[in-house]
Amino acid sequence: MLYIIFLTGVCNLRCRYCGGTIPEEVMPREVQYKIEDLRRFIEKDTDAVVAFYGGEPLLRIPLMLRMMDSLPAKRFVIQTNGFFLDKIPLSYLNRLDAILVSIDGREKITDYYRGHRVYRMVVDKVRKIRPHYGGDIIARMAVSEESDIYEEVTHLLSLPFDHVHWQLNVVWSPEGSWHDFDSWVHHSYNLGITRLAGLWIENLKRGKILGIVPFLGIIKRMLFGGEGLPCGAGRDAFAIATDGRILACPIGGEFEWNELGDIWSRGPEELCNSVDVEEPCKSCDIYPICGGRCLFANKERLWGENGFTKICGTVRHIVNEMERAREVVEILIQEGIFRREDFFYPSFNNTTEIIP
C-alpha cells in the first residue's frame, strides 16, 4: 500500500490556489509521534510505498532522512515545490523512486500562480539534480483559468522532466478563483486536450511515448484493467498526519469521513477498502476507467451537483480522446513497435492521481 507521510504542515510558499501552511486546527505543524511508532505500523505491510508530503517536506530534510533509514518501505517518493532539491544528500536522492515537483507550466503561468521567480528557482534546482538522479522526475501542475493545457504540458516536456501530470484547480479552489469555468473548458481546456492527444498519437507513430501521465494512466486502465480510484485513496493509499492520524485522502484532514483512526490503534491490513466513492460514479459508463476521479470531490461536492457534473465532463472528454489513442496503441503493439508493458505506467502508485 501507499503511505503519504506529512513531514510538516509548514510551506514556504503561498500559491493562489492553496492556503500554504496547513492551519494548526487541521493538523499540527510538526510530527508528534516517534519514528519508531511509524516503523512498527508500516512494517506490517511487506509491500509498502512511502511518499513524503507537506506543507513542504524538504523543510524537514533531517527528519526525512531519518525516516528513510528507519522505515521498511520498498519505494520512496516525494512531492515537493522543488526549492530545496539540491539539499538532499546524493545517497538519499537516489533512493527516491520518483520526485514530483510542483510547477504549473511556462514561466509566466507558474509565477502568476506560485509567486515571483518561482519558475526559475524550480527549473534551476531540477537541472542541478538531473545529472545525479536516475529516477523519475515528474512535473506536477495545478491547472487553472490562466493555463493553456497544450502550451504548459509541451513546455514542461521540453525541460528535464520524465513525465508531466496535472490536476484541475477545481472543488478545493478558493472563492473567486474562477471567472468563467464553462467558457475555459469549452474554448481552452478541451480543445487543448484534443490537440495534446493528437501530438501524443503522432509521436506514438514515430515510435516515441511522450510522458503525459493522464494519457498513460488511462491507457494503462484500458489495456490492463483496474479497479476504483486510480489514486487508491481509501482503498490501498492512505495519509499519515503529523499527529499520527490515518486519513483516507491527504486533502481534508478536518473531515470526519476522512479519518480512519491512528497508527497506534489500526494496522495496514484493517485499512484496505475503508472508504469508497458514492453515486453517480459507480453507475457511470466510464467508471472502470475514471474510478470516480477524486474521493474528496465525490464526498464533499463543494461546487454542488451541477459543478460536479461539469468537472465530470472534462474527464469524459479526455477518456474519449484516449479511446481514439487506444486504437493506435493496439495497432502499434500488434506491429511490434511497442510492447504492452511499455504502457504500464505508473508501475507502482507514485502519487500521480492519473485523472485530472
3-state SS, residue 351:
coil
Q: Are 105 and 147 in contact (CB under 8 A)?
A: yes
How far is C-alpha 54 from the geometric centre of its chain's CA atoms? 13
Residue 233 per-residue DSSP state? B
CB-CB neighbours of 62 under 10 Å: 7
- Domain layout of the chain by residue ranges: 170-188+200-229+275-356
3-state SS, residue 53:
strand
Q: Are 233 and 3 in contact (CB under 8 A)?
A: no
For position 176, what pLDDT does the model report?
67
Q: Are 6 and 30 in contact (CB under 8 A)?
A: no
From the list 67, 68, 73, 6, the residue with the least C-alpha distance to 42 is 73
Residue 22 per-residue DSSP state? P
Residue 329 neighbours by CB under 8 Å, 6+ apart? 204, 219, 223, 338, 343
Do β-strands 96-102 and 75-80 pair in parallel, antiparallel, or remain unpaired? parallel
Cα(212)–Cα(163) distance, rounded to whole angstroms? 6
Backbone φ, ψ for residue 254 (5° rounding): -95, -5
Q: What angle do CA 355, 23, 21 make, to 5 degrees?
A: 65
Cα(39)–Cα(67) distance, rounded to whole angstroms? 8
Residue 192 neighbours by CB under 8 Å, 6+ apart? 148, 149, 150, 151
Cα(99)–Cα(114) distance, rounded to whole angstroms? 19
For position 121, what pLDDT does the model report?
98
For position 19, what pLDDT does the model report?
77
Q: Are 211 and 161 in contact (CB under 8 A)?
A: yes
Please identify every stretch of the chain with a pLDDT value under 50, giving residue numbers as ranges: none
Q: How many residues does the chain have?
A: 356
Cα(56)–Cα(84) distance, rounded to whole angstroms? 9
Bridge partners of 289, per DSSP, are: none
> Which run of H or E residues covers position 114?
helix 107-114
Residue type, 198: G
Number of H helices, E strands in the chain: 13, 9
pLDDT digits (tens, 9 = 90+) for 221-241: 999 999 999 999 999 999 999
- My answer on whether omega of the bond before 174 falls inside 30° of 0, hence cis, is no
- CA-based end-to-end distance of the chain: 22
For position 12, what pLDDT does the model report?
96
- My answer on whether omega of the bond before 346 falls inside 30° of 0, hence cis, is yes
| Global pTM exceeds 0.75 | yes
> What is the dihedral sign for C-alpha 341, 219, 226, 2?
positive
For position 174, what pLDDT does the model report?
60
